[in-house]
Amino acid sequence: MLQTTMTVVKQTEIARHVYELVLQGENVATMQPGQFLMVRPVRTELLLRRPISICSYDKAAGTCTLLYRVEGAGTKDFSKLQSNDSVDCLGPLGTGFDVSEAQTAGVKSALLIGGGIGVPPMYQLGKELAAQGIEVTFVNGFQSHTDIFYEKEMAAYGSVHIATVDGSYGTQGFVTDITRKLPEPDRVYSCGPRPMLQAVKSSYAGSKTYLSLEERMACGIGACYACVCPKKIPTAG
Q: Is 141 annotated for ligand binding?
A: no
CA distances from 123 to 136, 154, 233 (A): 11, 6, 31
**According to the annotation, is 187 in a ligand binding site?**
no
HSE at residue 205, side-chain half, CA atoms within 13 A, is 4
37 carries a ligand binding annotation: no
**Does 117 appear as a known binding residue?**
no
Is 224 one of the annotated binding-site residues?
Answer: yes
51 marked as binding residue: yes
Consult the annotation and say whether 43 binds a ligand.
no
Q: How many helices (H) and strands (E) does the chain have?
A: 6, 12
Determine if residue 126 is labeled as part of a ligand binding site. Answer: no
Residue 64, annotated as binding a ligand: no
For residue 225, with 0-12 CB atoms within 10 Å meaning exposed, 13-18 middle and 19 or more buried, which class applies?
exposed
The answer to whether the annotation marks 52 as part of a ligand binding site is yes
The answer to whether the annotation marks 134 as part of a ligand binding site is no
50 is annotated as contributing to ligand binding: yes
d(CA 42, CA 44): 6
- How far apart (Å, rounded) are the C-alpha atoms in residues 54 and 134? 22
Q: Which residues are annotated as a binding site for FAD?
A: 50-53, 67-69, 74-75
Q: Which residues are annotated as a binding site?
A: 50-53, 67-69, 74-75, 219, 224, 227
Residues at the binding site for [2Fe-2S] cluster are: 219, 224, 227
